[in-house]
Amino acid sequence: MSDDSKALATSTPEDRAIAEIRERGAAVVAHRREIKELDKIIAGMSFGTVSGASFSPQTRWQIAKFCEITGAEPLTQVDILGGKPYLNANYWADNLVNQPLFLRYEQRDLSPSVEELLRAKARELSALADGLEGQEATRLRVRAYNHAEEADTIAIDRARWSPRATATVVIETTIYRFMNFAPLGKISSGEITDFENYVVPVTECNWAGGHGIVKIGSMDKKDPIGDANPGTTARSRSLRRCAAKAFSAWMGEYKERIEVAEKAIEAEYEIIVAGDEEAKVALPVPGGPQAVTFTNGEPEAMNPEEAEDLPIEGVDVEPVAVEPKKKKAKKAPAPAQAPAPAEPVPFDASDARKALFATLRDAGVSNEDRKGWAVSNGLPESTSLWMKADYDNAMEILIAPTREKVLSGCEALEMDLADLCLEVLGQDTAKYLKDWNALAVRLQDEMDGADL
């Protein structure tokens, strides 16, 4: 037995507890040191018109914590837009590169402005061709045709996503990722060069601008970030949405913690901006009367409202007795409080009802049979009496049989569920009954083909 093993075996429980405390203490010290370094970086940065140095220490600490949680680089991957921290496209692109199954991604601009620019160029080339003859005229007409055809393609592809009619920027993102069973070792070593059969594209789209509205929880709110920065916002949101579809497990790790940090920063940011406005109101009107206040011995100009005239030298002023000011007792510092937990997303009965009716339809339960189905499964006859637990229970009853069938099929055929989802659904997870039904149909086709 080694000396270390002997020491560990003979140590008392108290000694081991002290050693564990020291180890945890060292980890905490290292953690706080990392946060302090981030705090220094943030203090020297600018977020729009607000400098990092103007944030309170608590705010800078929260931003540093936000960067630590997400692993974001504050200088290049974090913006504060519309009063909240924003992980920009650099963050999502850099993190995608670290995913072993990621190959590449591309973005297409399907905006109306791009379509109109191509059509305008086609009209210009056609007009030039009308004044020419021979090969030059033919060449220009071919170019005009190609521009018009590209504009038609953009219009058709944009319409497939049904973006908001007023959106000024529409961005489509496609991520190419390897399937889970891909032999990455042989591909990376160059042993396998024809690896396209192991690659699947995942495509998503998002848009911004034009006084948009975004859905936050169950509420629709204005989108000042998208309106102020439509190009940057649409690209970032499109990439983030596509990443969530292609790598849902990875994205799930971040979502809740990011939302908690964003809420904390947003509240503090609004307080800072409000404080700046109050300071401006306190200043005197240029050219108007002024009052003076002394802060730390230094005179400062102030708004003259409720100010009194100063005594003038040489004019008798009736003395006024002034009571000596009593020293205020120092208040004990308030104990440090942990940040309030994030508010849970409110339950939206309307959305839950829509999802239920769609799932009932996919399960073959008609509207006439709906109430009978509910009663037979121990649920209230009318959904007006349902609570969140009732909706969750109903969805589980409807989805579970098909889900179990798919899982059993994947096991029998030795297929990876995520790969099957990518191939059939274009995303790596199944959420709704229609998704599980599509997977079940595909598995049945595979089994029928195997029997032949």
Q: Residue 116's domain spans which residues?
A: 80-272
Range 421-444 average pLDDT: 89
Domain endpoint, select from 272, 304, 339: 272
Cα-to-chain-centroid distance, residue 31:
25
Query: Domains in the chain: how many in total?
Result: 3
Q: Are residues 231 and 139 in the same domain?
A: yes
Q: Are residues 357 and 268 in the same domain?
A: no
With cut-offs at 50, 70 and 90, classify the pLDDT of residue 267: low
Q: Where is pLDDT greater, at 242 or 31?
A: 242
- Asked if the structure places residue 98 within a domain, the reply is yes
User: What pLDDT score was predicted for residue 299?
Assistant: 42
Q: Are residues 62 and 92 in the same domain?
A: no
- State the DSSP H helix or E strand holding residue 16, giving kind and residue range, or none if neither: helix 13-43
Q: Are residues 140 and 198 in the same domain?
A: yes
- Asked if the structure places residue 85 within a domain, the reply is yes
Range 238-265 average pLDDT: 76
Closest CA to 198 of 174, 182, 187, 186: 182
Residue whose structure tokens are 């589980």: 396
Neighbours of 168 (CB within 10 A): 19
101 neighbors 183 (Cβ within 8 angstroms): no
- Asked if the structure places residue 197 within a domain, the reply is yes
- Residue 339, pLDDT > 50, answer no
- Residue 340, pLDDT > 50, answer no
Closest CA to 268 of 78, 80, 56, 39: 56
Q: Are residues 87 and 211 in the same domain?
A: yes
- Residue 60, pLDDT > 50, answer yes
Residue 147 main-chain phi, psi, to 5 deg: -65, -45
Range 238-249 average pLDDT: 88
Q: Are residues 85 and 181 in the same domain?
A: yes
Within a 13 Å sphere around the CA of 414, how many CA atoms are in the beta-carbon half? 2
- State the DSSP H helix or E strand holding residue 281, giving kind and residue range, or none if neither: helix 248-282
User: What pLDDT score was predicted for residue 215?
Assistant: 63
User: What pLDDT score was predicted for residue 242?
Assistant: 92
Q: Are residues 174 and 247 in the same domain?
A: yes
Closest CA to 61 of 86, 32, 83: 32
Q: Are residues 140 and 213 in the same domain?
A: yes
Question: What is d(CA 33, CA 338) in angstroms, rounded to the nearest whole number?
Answer: 19
Residue 78 main-chain phi, psi, to 5 deg: -125, 130
248 neighbors 429 (Cβ within 8 angstroms): yes
Query: Which residues have CB under 8 Å from 62's CB, separation 6+?
Result: 261, 264, 265, 268, 339
Question: What is d(CA 216, CA 82) in angstroms, rounded to the nearest whole number?
Answer: 15
- Residue 295, pLDDT > 90, answer no
- Residue 92, pLDDT > 70, answer yes
